[in-house]
Each structure stands twice: as C-alpha cells, then as structure tokens.
Amino acid sequence: MSEQLKFSQTPVVFLHGWGLNHQVWSQLVLALPKELDIRTPDLPGFGLSPCPESYDIDSVLTQLAEQIPDQSILIGWSLGGVLAIALASRYPEKVQKLGLIASSPCFMAKDNWPGMEGRVMQQFAGQLQQDLALTVERFLAIQAMGSSTARQDIKLLKQAVLSLALPSATALQGGLELLATLDMRQEFAALTLPVFSILGRLDSLVPVAIAPLLQSLRPELQLAILQKSSHAPFISHQQEFISLLLPHLSD
C-alpha cells in the first residue's frame, strides 16, 4: 500500500503508554516507510526522559510540548492518547492531525461511558507501593489479554520495558493518577483538526463499546476496529495496523 501513497516530511510523533518507553515502537518504526520523519519521545519520567518534580498534567504537557515539532501528526497509544488529546487542545500549533491507538479520552468507567473500573485502578495503585516491577508486569499482561498472540505480545512489551531503567515510582504513580483522573471528552469533541482512532475489539482496557460514543462526540471521526486485536495492535497485528495507519500519514 505504501508504494501508492506519497508522504510529506510532516513529523510523525508517537507517544507510548503507561509503564513503557519509546522502545515499544521499535518494531513498528522498522516496518514503516523510511521516508517518514518519525519521532518517539519518552513520556516524562519514563525511558530516558527526566521526571518532573510535580507529576501533574501541566508539568507533563509542558515537558512533552518541548519535544514535539510544530504541525506534527501526533499519535498516542493508551495513556499517550489521552495526553495527545490534552496536548492538541492546549498547544494547537503543535498538532496538525491527531491519532489515537487503543485509547480513550476518559479511561475510567463513568455513567454511560465504558472504561476501567475504579477498584481495578485502586488495586494497581496499591500494588505499586509494594512492588514496582511486578505491577508493571501485571499491567503488560492485561494489555495483551484476549490477543491470540498474547504470549509473544507480552514478551515484546517486557523487552521494551527492560531495555531501559524502570521508571521512577513518582512517574508510575503520577501516570496512574492521570489515567484515573483525566476526562478529556469535552476537549476531544472541541478539537478543530482531523482525528482518527484505531481500536482493538478484544481490548480489556479500552472497551470497543466506546466506538459509537467517540463517533457521537466527533461525527467526522475516522474510526477503525481491528477484530482480532487487544490493547497493542501495532505489536500483535502489525501489518493490518500499518495498512490502517498509512493513509492517515500520506499527503
């Protein structure tokens, strides 16, 4: 498909999810057309990125904005997607087009909005206090749950985590707090730029039931569902994922 598409030099920026780092994109980047200008910054406090003193949305967005060129195509996975919505809303000059991978403007379940149950989030927060590494590992397992390639997916996710130092407790707890408290639905609906979304039908963290709700918030949203994928479609179903992604990156 990439042979028929023409790509500009618009920067394409990928933001990873909670507990991980930029290495999670390494296999995808190798498989994407070489002419794309791809950037994979680490979220603040993860991978090689310094941790802000106060892990709040303002500090996180300020630090991220410094790493994102103006007029980028910004693509966020999981927590990275929520932050991408916030960034596009607060720094509109940074984002030309927004993409969400297995992400929701509101991760937590609320009235008439499917998402993660509060008790599950509280369990993770409690476990973090006792064992950082084990909690991250459990979270990775949930991300792959439902995928027919779950074992291989977990292996690749763990490789990404272990390739760099484990994030600090401050970043892990702060990231969970953002997932638990951010509700970007109004900002998502108000964005004045093109937005696309790729969901996995078997995703246990971002239920596919949000698809019609996303569409109602943004009737012009370009939304695709990978039928056999769970939370990490760019790992478990790379070729299918790329075939959905590339049209959004072309001129």
Indicate the length of the chain as a whole number.
251
Let me know: does 203 contact 229? Beta carbons within 8 Å. Answer: yes
Cα 69 to Cα 134: distance, rounded to the nearest angstrom: 35
Cα 115 to Cα 97: distance, rounded to the nearest angstrom: 25
251 in active site: no
78 in active site: yes
- Cα angle 91, 38, 229; round to 5: 95
Cα 249 to Cα 240: distance, rounded to the nearest angstrom: 15
Catalytic residue among 203, 229, 236, 237: 203
Catalytic residue among 78, 104, 197, 230: 78
Cα 153 to Cα 159: distance, rounded to the nearest angstrom: 10
183 in active site: no
Catalytic residue among 16, 22, 231, 237: 231
Active site residues: 78, 203, 231
